Amino acid sequence: MSTRQLRVNELIQRELSAILRKRYQEEAALITITGVAVTPDTREGKVFVAVTGDDDLATQKLRWLRKHAQELRFELGRTIILKHMPVLTYEFDTATERGNRILDLLDRLAEEEKRQTPPSA
């Protein structure tokens, strides 16, 4: 990934978070933009989101983001000057879930190891 791509990713993440925080306080209260990945030509991009709450609420918030994608893109275009403003798609960030699952497995292994290790005298 090029330096320009990384900078565009970070810029979109920062500005999109600011737009959600300022203009859509109520609707986006539990939404966190965890990352952005644009294509090298910056015509398309994926926005990775995490939602605090249960699965139903997360699905509802993701649906809201997808419904308002054009409006959010327009708002981004007013704050960011790019030759091509990417068409953004919104997806759940599964990296957090995978990380939590790995941590849980490591905790279980540590507990199991403690039970199997005989106490030293």
Q: What total number of domains does the chain contain? A: 1
- Tell me, yes or no, whether 89 lies in a domain: yes
Is residue 60 one of the residues assigned to a domain? yes
Residue-number span of the structural domain to which 9 is assigned: 3-116
pLDDT in tens, 33-90: 999 999 999 999 999 999 888 889 989 999 999 999 999 999 999 999 989 899 999 9
In a domain, 77, yes or no: yes
98 domain residue, yes or no: yes
Q: Is pLDDT of 120 > 80? A: no
Q: Please report, for the domain that includes residue 29, its CATH number.
A: 3.30.300.20
In a domain, 87, yes or no: yes
Instruction: Let me know if residue 121 belongs to a domain.
Output: no
pTM above 0.85, yes or no: no
pLDDT exceeding 70 applies to what percent of the chain?
A: 98
CA distance readout (Å), 75 to 40, 48, 70, 81 = 22, 18, 9, 11
How far is residue 68's CA from residue 66's CA, in Å, rounded to a whole number?
A: 5
